[in-house]
């Protein structure tokens, strides 16, 4: 099935996926870097099917949703990642999972096709409700989305 983009989220929960999280995303990565499968990606392919993963407001069709389990209580201003910050192993696994999905579905790694939920409003022009998922990441200067795309591209260039 043709999928057009990958949108990366955090659950705004703990480092462990809960039952509700599993209904909202296609892949979830826990705090120890283990990937859990959520909803079947095919359900989000147009025409969208009952039980699809509702991960991004008005942008679920043909969109794969990948989430890191993190960021409960995190705030953007002032920047505070809270008690469950994204972990290094989780981000390493995120890069791998996104690269594999890019390759499997033939999705190019561009700012409109691989993006964080925090970038959806700016990059796709689809209004979101104050989402800042992965706009910033611990220990990473600048935009989390730019960093993620660079890492995914490097992975793809290296043949994953
Ligand atoms: Zn999100």
CA 49–ligand 1 middle distance (angstroms): 20
pLDDT at 110 exceeding the cut of 90: yes
pLDDT at 13 exceeding the cut of 90: yes
pLDDT at 1 exceeding the cut of 90: no
Contacts of 155 (CB under 8 A, 6+ apart): 95, 96, 99
pLDDT at 135 exceeding the cut of 80: yes
Q: Please, are residues 69 and 15 in contact by the beta-carbon 8 Å criterion?
A: yes
User: Average per-residue pLDDT in the chain?
Assistant: 97
Query: Could you tell me the pTM of the whole model?
Result: 0.97
CA 57–ligand 1 middle distance (angstroms): 9
Instruction: Name the pLDDT band for 160 (thresholds 50, 70, 90).
Output: confident
Which domains, ranges and CATH numbers included, belong to the chain? 5-157 (3.40.80.10)
- The arithmetic mean of pLDDT across residues 17-27, rounded, is 97
pLDDT at 159 exceeding the cut of 80: yes
Q: Tens digits of per-residue pLDDT, 53-99?
A: 999 999 999 999 999 999 999 999 999 999 999 999 999 999 999 99
CA 131–ligand 1 middle distance (angstroms): 6
Q: Which long-range contacts (CB under 8 A, 24 or more apart) does 125-129 make?
A: 126/56, 126/57, 126/58, 126/59, 127/57, 127/58, 128/56, 128/57, 129/57
CA 18–ligand 1 middle distance (angstroms): 15
């Amino acid at each position: 099935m043709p999928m057009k983009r990958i949108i990366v989220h955090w659950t705004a929960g703990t480092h462990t996926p809960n039952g509700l999280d599993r209904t909202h995303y296609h892949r979830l990565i826990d705090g120890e870097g283990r990937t859990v499968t959520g909803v079947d990606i095919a359900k989000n392919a147009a025409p969208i099917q009952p039980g699809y993963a509702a991960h991004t407001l008005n942008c679920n069709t043909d969109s794969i949703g990948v989430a890191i389990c993190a960021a409960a209580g995190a705030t953007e201003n002032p920047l505070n990642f809270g008690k469950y910050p994204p972990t290094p192993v989780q981000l390493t696994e995120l890069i791998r999972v996104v690269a594999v999905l890019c390759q499997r579905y033939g999705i190019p790694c561009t700012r409109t096709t691989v993006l964080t939920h925090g970038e959806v409003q700016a990059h796709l022009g689809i209004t979101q409700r104050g989402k800042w998922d992965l706009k910033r990441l611990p220990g990473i200067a600048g935009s989390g989305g730019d960093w993620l795309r660079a890492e995914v591209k490097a992975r793809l260039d290296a043949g994953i």
